[in-house]
Structure 1
Amino acid sequence: MKVFWFIPTHGDTRYLGTSEGARNADFDYFKQIAVAADTLGYEGVLLPTGRSCEDAWVVASSLIAVTQRLKFLVAVRPGLSSPALSARMAATFDRLSKGRLLINVVTGGDQAELEGDGIFADHDTRYRITDEFLSIWREHLSASHHGDTVDFEGDHLRSKGGRLLYPPVQTPHPPLWFGGSSEAAQDIAASHVDTYLTWGEPPDAVEKKIAEVRARAHAKGRELKFGIRLHVIVRETEDEAWAAADRLLSRVDEATISRAQAAFSRMDSEGQRRMAALHGGKGRTRAELEIYPNLWAGVGLVRGGAGTALVGSPEQVAARMEQYANLGIGTFILSGYPHLEEAYRFGELVFPRLPGYVRQRIEAPLSGPFGEVVGNSYLPRVSQS
């Protein structure tokens, strides 16, 4: 089980849907979160992309030198930059970070945003462009290890004598991650990517999606890994966690929710449609927004994309994660508000309750002593609870 955290390049807050309690999205804050994630034992961090965010590549590059093991899941946007340029950027980042780059392929589902960036293709055409983009991108990076050139003739993209002089550290290229719920998106995943990502739907929906994508990949002779994107609200008791969920929405008004839902409804993203269907754009209470035990759809009232959170005690959150893991989910990409404090809270409360991977990282030999000395003479024992 691998656990990632999130760099909030669109800003951070204590209360969703309002500027009250908001924090500046600046380098010092991003660095604090990245260093915390690195030292706490998170596998990596996701950096979001889009016009509401600082540029993911620039931010991730600025964080290479302040971290040691942390991996960076950074977005490429097919159609926004050429596949050859994106491949060169990936190779450079991978070398400078000594192999710590992962690629998040984001085709996009907000037509207004895409047109503002100069992309006017419809939904299915965007995925055909993505298919050609990834064909060229993968070939450029693979060929760079042998000094070969790349020729490609597609309906939307071309390459003639394309060449990368400096290959990436990872072979044949940094791993590709991708999420999308439409049939066109699932075909892209089956053909190109290494890890398929789903947003945090209830386990039965996630199980069905995994089966569909896995079958498409098998038909092409490929095997995929699977990950899930969730928020998390964990406290020492269940009651405290649900109280924190209520506080997160306590400042948002109905007009803000209505505007957000209207904007989401104009998107042509199947994943966004599925997220919105989980809460219906209304409701504030736990009874209305808890769509599955410990799975809360409140974030999606005002936030696009990932809209659900695991809410509960450390034992409950760990148990729900293991339930998803048993379906085939190998990686959890998590976030919480505010992101700095929540990174520590999750690491301290949940990591010790997760199997294998994370436990080994945080229980590595340490220099000490750690914690207060009891009576000035001996160290307290680690709690076995």
Structure 2
Amino acid sequence: MSLHITGMIWARPTSDLEPPSGEAFQPDFIEAITRAHEDAGFDRVLAGYWTNAADGFLVLAHAAAVAKRIGFLLAHRPGFVSPTLAARKLATLDRLTGGRLALHVISGGEDADQRKDGDHADHAARYRRTDEFLDVVRRVWSAAAPVSHRGEFYHVENAWSDIRPVHGSLPIFFGGASEAALGVAARHADVYALFGEPLADTAAVLDRVRAAAQGRPIAFSWSNRPILGATEKQAWDRAHHIRERALAKLRGAGEAGLIAAGQAVNSQRLIGLSRRGEVLDERLWTAMAGVLGGRGNSTALVGTPEQVARAMLRYRAISVSHCILRGWDPLPDAAEYGRELIPLLRALDADAGAGRVSVAARPVAA
């Protein structure tokens, strides 16, 4: 499978290094950051889900109006919109984009964050609900007759949608490291998404997902936030400066220390990495996972563009075909990735596919 590279967009300038600025919804910024990713050669951009931020459906609808090539990945939490309505909303957005939409399903790993939107289901229930939600959505998209369903969370009668996705369905991205998450991924995921863990840890998760899927094909996505420099020393100096800026932001917000570790299993895994060592696999930098409480995509490959690209190729060798890359300074970093990293990564990937570059087929456990 060819390499797919996904970036990330927001409705306003924001990062882990600077406080948000301006209005919560800035159409000009959506246009700028979407075009920056399209110009940089990304395949898709992801609109995330936050309980305090602009609605991702509308962010991507605006992005699709200004970018005519790049694809879109929408993060969506089941539980707040009925699956029949979600099926129509997603199909409508996919039609608006000309068939460029994929869906990233986020069941939710933090109880307190779920309660902000009125969801009091526990962790296990959220994953059972996601399973049922995706069953209904896909039935609505493929149905030749009205759909009725009675389950634990949803009861619908004679549901029908006149609008369907351009290609009949949408690619489903799914993440989560708990056993409940793996069960849902095994049944529904087209692409299983992991955060930026070392090679051996990543390979172990891939094996778990494949075992759970019992032969159903699943692609894999690996997330990272590369930090580049003209020399390796410059890259590491930049990484340490990024950490200082993040800590300064926390101090400016009145935080007494680092962000507390999150409840989600993925957050706990990333915190565990930061405690194992600040640098793993030669250049996987874990310090920011410790600063940010393991939340989100918070590890970084650090080095020259070629060093980072070759490190990423090692994940390709263990069957990772998708990468979600975002920078610490989102707009300038997207442009830098387009100049320095993405063309080199694609060229080296093509050489590896043709046998002109040798990479290890399997990582050696630490």
Give the alignment's TM-score, normalised by structure 1: 0.83
Q: State the Cα distance separating 1:12 from its structure 2 match.
A: 2.3
The reply to whether residue 299 of structure 1 matches residue 288 of structure 2 is yes
Structure 2 gap ranges (5+)? 352-366
In structure 2, the residue matched to 1:353 is 344
Quick one: distance in 2 between partners of 1:176 and 1:357?
28
What corresponds to 1:272 in structure 2? Answer: 267
- 2-structure distance, mates of 1:329, 1:74: 20
Q: Which residue matches 2:82? A: 82
Unpaired runs of 5+ residues, structure 1, are: 281-286, 361-385
> What code does the residue aligned with 1:168 have?
P
Tell me by how many angstroms 1:136 deviates: 0.4
State the Cα distance separating 1:18 from its structure 2 match: 5.0
Larger radius of gyration: 1
Pairs within 5 Å for 1:137-156: 137-143=137-143, 146=144, 148-156=145-153
Where does residue 58 of structure 1 map in the other structure? 58
Instruction: Name the SS for the 1:63 alignment partner.
Output: helix
Q: Secondary structure at the match of 1:211?
A: helix
Report deviation, 1:141.
Answer: 1.1
**2: CA distance between counterparts of 1:305 and 1:259?**
18
* Counterpart residue number, 1:342: 333
2:259 matched residue in structure 1: 261
CA drift of 1:40 comes to 2.2
Distance 1:259 1:80 in 2: 34
Say which SS state the counterpart of residue 186 (structure 2) adopts: helix
Q: Distance in 2 between the 1:310 and 1:323 partners?
A: 12
Q: Which residue of 1 aligns with 2:196?
A: 200
Equivalent pair of 1:94/1:170 in contact (CA under 8 Å): no
- Amino acid across the alignment from 2:328: Y
> Are residues 1:317 and 2:308 paired?
yes
Residues 42, 358 of structure 1: 8 Å contact kept: no
Letter in 2 for 1:159: V
Q: Is the 8 A contact 2:11 2:27 kept in 1?
A: no
Which deviations, in whole Å up to 9, do the C-alpha atoms of 1:68-126 show, x marking residues without a partner? 11111102211111111111111001111110100000001111111121111111111
Distance 1:60 1:214, change over 3 A: same
CA contact (8 A) 2:12 2:30 kept: no
Deviation at 1:52, TM superposition (A): 3.8
TM-superposition CA deviations, 1:144-173 (whole Å, max 9, x none): xx4x211112112222111101111022x1
8 Å CA contact retained: 1:99, 1:170: yes
Which has the larger displacement, 234-243 or 63-72? 234-243
- Which residue pairs with 2:361 in the alignment? none
1:236-255 equivalent positions in 2, closer than 5 A: 236-251=230-245, 252=247
Contact 1:195 1:227 in 2 (8 A): yes
Tell me by how many angstroms 1:299 deviates: 2.6
| Distance in 1 of aligned mates of 2:179 and 2:140 | 27
Instruction: Please give the root-mean-square deviation of Cα atoms over the aligned residues, in Å.
Output: 2.2
Compared CA separation, residues 258 and 309, structure 1 to 2 (3 A): farther
Percent identity among equivalent residues? 33
**How many angstroms apart in 1 are the aligned matches of 2:327 and 2:93?**
27
CA distance in 2, matches of 1:230, 1:27: 27
DSSP-derived class of the 1:64 partner = helix
